[in-house]
Structures are given as structure tokens and as C-alpha cells.
């Protein structure tokens, strides 16, 4: 049976305990539950010659074909990258006798997103959100805020987690016109059941520690790493002066890609209230009253638990203020760690209000997974402005005769 849906993704997205792509897992479950024929194509990663996902097919042939065509077909023969990619898709479809035609394609991280419409010009291609999106994100937008050239094909649509992310596509006037009806809120595909939020949130008196999400990675230069270290020690000095609770600790949590980018072995010796944490956000949140970071997207995770974030911004590292406070409209920012701790100790009503505000803010960006929407998208029955339509039935997907 020819597939109605084809999923395409790079192998490094296999991040679940079962070795599958957790971003696609709920959508694949919808296909299996509703009997929607699908194929799962895994792009090889780092020279792998077989898929890591047990449900996937190896898509090395498709990848290598596209890479060779990009080398052999100079861009100047076409008016745009998008048109060349579309031609490559048409050529691939002819050479494979339509074996990869489908009515709906789902991809992630813009993988082959401009080529897939060429395989079937009547199909829709959905690019699924896999990280945070903001109005200057190079994966989606040009430097002037307009949609990237390779994403302008009207058959290319975008699936986002919530209204807050959808609005990032609307900040440019041209985008609002070009993308009308092409950005869909699918919900948080990574949240299972009720998501990360626990059924009972501990009372403020039990939430006494502060967690600092560090961002030391080898992506930074030596000078930048040194600057980040000064920010950290400056914060710890401020905490030492402001803290009045001897049982309160600062829990330092490394970035997943820390890889010993800098020596921080003396931090625990200099500051007796510091502890290194390796627990998950879900494990730490019940005991944490404040989360601190420069710009880590872990702020979203803590907001789901009603734990507010205090963003540190400096002239050298303004990213947190620019992204979260200006772009995302993060609420209720304290004057500093002293003000944050004073709120917990002396103004529990204000603190509780702050926690409620950040939970509401989180829901703007991460809504519940919309299974009904997923069914409509996967069956081609979701149209612009809520109107329902049916994609043309290809010769590879004819309905069964009664």
C-alpha cells in the first residue's frame, strides 16, 4: 500500500529510551491508531548505513542523491534555492518511479523541506518545531525578519507548540501575508499525558533552593567562558549577601554539552552553599523557589512547574533579556536575587502570584497536544481559516471501491 504520509528526519533526533524520534512518536501513534498508511525515512547521521529507529527505513539514497545534485546543478541556473530544490525533488520522483510520493510529508529541522514538494507537487509539507523559535531565528527567517527563501513555497507549512511561537511568524508584515493559514498549533509533542506539570505543587515554604542553569560549552571562546565565569561568581557573591536562610542552597546544573569546557572545581570550595546537581527539572522543581540563568531555555521547563526565572543580563551577555523579556514577554522580573529571595521570605502572596503568572505564560508557548488537529493534518482535511478540504487523491492512494 502506498503511504498517505511520509515522515523524514535526521537520525540524531532518535532521543527516546526506545531509540525512536520522540518528536514524531505521537504523530506516528495517530497514524497507527487511525489506520493511516505511512513510511518513516531516517536520514543517516555521521556515516551510519542503517537506521537507528526500529520503525524507520534508511534514507541514505535520497540524501546522497540530493547532495550530489546540489554539487552538479549550480544555483545560478535557477532563480532561487527553493526552485532548484523543487527540481531535484521532481527528478528524484521520476528516477524512483514515484515510490516516494505521498499526500502529506512531515519533516523536522527544515530537513529536505524545499525538496519534498517536488516529489509530489500536490502534497503538503509540514515542518515540525523541535526547539525554540524567535523572530530572528536563522533557520526560519532572513536578517530582515522575512521568511527564508527556501520556505516560501505555499505548500510548506509549520507546526508549532503554542500561540506564543506562532506569533513569532507574525512580527514581520510580509510574513503575516505570505504565511496566512500556514502556521498550525499542534501542541507540545514531547509532553506525555498532562505534560511535565505535577498534580500538586509544593507550598512556597517548601521551595527554598535556587537552581542556576549554567551554559558553559565549547561553543564559547575562552574569553567568553571567562566572562561567563565572572557572571556566575558575581551572582554567588550577591546571593551570599542577600540570603538569610542557612538551609538554602544554590544548585548548579551544567549544560548537557558542558564537556569540561572550563575548570570550575574551585567554586564549591569558595562557596559553602553551592551544590552540583544532576537531577532532572522534574526532580529539582519541587524544592526550588527560583531558577536563574542568562538565557537557557530551561526557563520554559521551570515555568511549567510554576518556578519563576531570574534572568541575568550583562552588556556581554544580553541574550536572556532580548529573547525572554523582549521577544517572549516573560512576566514578573525581580530587581535581582536579593529582591527574589525577599519575595519568598516576606511577601508570599506576591511570590504565589508570580508563580501563577509564569505557569500561564508557559501555556501560551506549550499547549496540549491536539490529536484532532493531528488527524486533520495527516489526512489532509485541515484547510485555511478552519475550512476543511480534501487533498487530491493521487494514483498511488486511490480509495477502495465499495
Render pLDDT for 342-364 as a digit per residue (tens, 0 to 9).
Answer: 999 999 999 999 999 999 999 99
The predicted structure's pLDDT at residue 78:
86
- Overall average pLDDT of the 313-324 stretch: 89
pTM of this prediction?
A: 0.84
The predicted structure's pLDDT at residue 384:
42
The predicted structure's pLDDT at residue 199:
46
What is the phi/psi pair of residue 184, to 5°? Answer: -120, 140
pLDDT tens-place string over residues 252-264? 999 988 988 999 9
133-147, 191-205, 323-337 — which is least confidently predicted?
A: 191-205
Q: Is 68 helix (H, G, I), strand (E, B) or coil?
A: helix
Residues of the chain with pLDDT > 90: what percent? 71
- Overall average pLDDT of the 225-244 stretch: 95
Inform me whether the pLDDT recorded for 400 exceeds 60.
no
Geometric angle at alpha carbon 190, from 291 and 118, rounded to 5°: 125
pLDDT category of residue 164 using cuts at 50, 70 and 90: very high
The predicted structure's pLDDT at residue 399:
37
Average pLDDT of every residue of the chain = 88
Of 47 and 115, more confident: 115
What region, left, alpha or beta, does residue 195 occupy, with left being phi > 0 and alpha being psi -120 to 50 degrees? left
Inform me whether the pLDDT recorded for 392 exceeds 70.
no
Which residue in the block uniquely carries the three cell numbers 524544592?
287
The predicted structure's pLDDT at residue 185:
96
Per-residue DSSP letter, 141: B
Inform me whether the pLDDT recorded for 42 exceeds 90.
yes
C-alpha cell at 399: 480509495
pLDDT tens-place string over residues 286-295? 999 999 999 8
- Overall average pLDDT of the 374-397 stretch: 56
- Overall average pLDDT of the 255-282 stretch: 91
**Could you tell me which of 141, 206, 200 has the C-alpha nearest to residue 168?**
141
Q: How many CB atoms lie within 10 A of CB 260?
A: 9
Inform me whether the pLDDT recorded for 367 exceeds 90.
yes
Which residue in the block uniquely carries the three cell numbers 509564569?
358
Helix boundaries (H) for 73-217? 81-95, 116-119, 163-166, 173-178
- Overall average pLDDT of the 200-213 stretch: 74
- Overall average pLDDT of the 190-199 stretch: 54
pLDDT category of residue 16 using cuts at 50, 70 and 90: confident
Residues of the chain with pLDDT > 70: what percent? 90
Specify which residues 274 forms β-bridges with. Answer: 250
pLDDT tens-place string over residues 109-149? 999 999 999 999 999 999 999 999 999 899 999 988 899 98
d(C-alpha 229, C-alpha 314), whole Å = 13
User: Domains in the chain, please, with CATH?
Assistant: 5-191+367-386 (3.40.50), 204-365 (3.40.50.2000)
Q: How far is CA 397 from CA 1, 119, 274, 392, in A?
A: 8, 15, 61, 10
Cα pseudo-dihedral 390, 395, 400, 402, rounded to 10: 90
- Overall average pLDDT of the 264-287 stretch: 93
- Overall average pLDDT of the 200-220 stretch: 80
The predicted structure's pLDDT at residue 79:
80
The predicted structure's pLDDT at residue 202:
52
- Overall average pLDDT of the 242-246 stretch: 95
pLDDT tens-place string over residues 67-95? 999 999 988 888 888 999 999 999 999 99
Inform me whether the pLDDT recorded for 198 exceeds 60.
no
Amino acid at each position: 500500500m502506498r503511504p498517505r504520509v511520509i515522515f523524514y528526519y535526521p537520525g540524531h533526533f532518535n532521543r527516546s529510551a526506545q531509540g525512536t524520534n520522540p518528536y514524531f512518536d505521537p504523530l506516528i501513534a495517530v497514524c497507527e491508531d487511525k489506520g493511516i498508511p505511512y513510511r518513516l525515512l531516517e536520514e543517516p547521521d555521521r556515516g551510519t548505513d542503517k537506521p537507528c529507529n526500529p520503525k524507520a527505513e534508511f534514507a541514505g539514497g535520497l540524501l546522497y542523491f540530493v547532495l550530489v545534485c546540489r554539487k552538479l546543478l549550480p544555483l545560478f541556473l535557477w532563480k532561487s534555492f527553493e526552485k532548484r530544490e523543487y527540481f531535484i525533488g521532481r527528478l528524484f520522483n521520476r528516477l524512483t518511479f514515484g515510490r516516494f510520493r505521498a499526500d502529506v510529508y512531515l519533516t523536522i529541522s527544515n530537513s529536505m523541506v524545499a525538496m519534498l514538494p517536488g516529489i509530489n507537487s500536490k502534497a503538503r509539507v509540514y515542518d515540525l518545531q523541535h526547539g525554540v523559535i524567535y523572530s530572528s531565528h536563522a533557520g526560519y527567517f532572513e536578517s530582515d525578519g522575512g521568511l527564508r527563501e527556501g520556505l516560501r513555497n505555499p505548500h510548506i507549512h509549520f507546526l508549532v507548540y503554542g500561540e506564543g511561537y506562532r506569533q513569532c511568524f507574525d512580527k514581520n508584515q510580509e510574513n503575516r501575508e505570505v504565511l496566512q493559514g500556514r502556521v498550525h498549533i499542534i501542541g507540545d509533542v514531547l509532553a506525555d499525558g498532562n505534560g511535565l506539570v505535577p498534580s500538586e505543587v509544593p507550598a512556597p515554604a517548601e521551595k527554598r533552593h535556587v537552581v542556576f542553569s549554567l551554559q558553559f560549552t565549547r561553543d564559547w571562546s575562552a574569553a567568553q567562558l571567562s566572562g561567563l565565569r565572572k557572571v556566575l561568581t558575581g551572582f554567588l557573591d550577591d546571593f551570599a549577601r542577600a540570603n538569610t536562610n542557612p538551609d538554602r542552597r544554590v544548585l548548579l546544573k551544567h549544560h548537557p554539552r558542558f564537556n569540561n569546557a572550563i575548570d570550575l572545581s574551585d567554586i564549591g570550595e569558595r562557596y559553602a552553599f553551592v551544590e552540583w546537581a544532576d537531577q532532572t527539572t522534574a526532580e529539582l522543581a519541587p524544592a526550588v523557589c527560583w531558577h536563574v540563568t542568562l538565557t537557557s531555555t530551561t526557563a520554559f521547563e521551570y515555568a511549567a512547574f510554576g518556578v519563576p526565572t531570574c534572568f541575568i543580563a550583562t552588556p556581554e551577555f544580553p541574550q536572556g533579556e532580548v529573547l525572554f523579556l523582549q521577544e517572549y514577554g516573560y512576566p514578573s522580573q525581580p530587581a535581582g536575587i536579593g529582591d527574589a529571595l525577599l519575595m519568598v521570605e516576606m511577601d508570599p502572596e506576591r511570590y504565589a502570584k508570580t508563580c501563577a503568572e509564569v505557569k500561564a505564560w508557559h501555556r501560551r508557548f506549550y499547549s496540549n497536544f491536539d490529536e484532532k488537529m493531528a488527524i486533520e493534518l495527516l489526512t489532509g482535511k485541515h484547510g485555511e481559516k478552519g475550512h476543511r478540504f480534501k487533498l487530491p487523491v493521487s494514483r498511488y492512494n486511490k480509495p477502495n471501491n465499495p
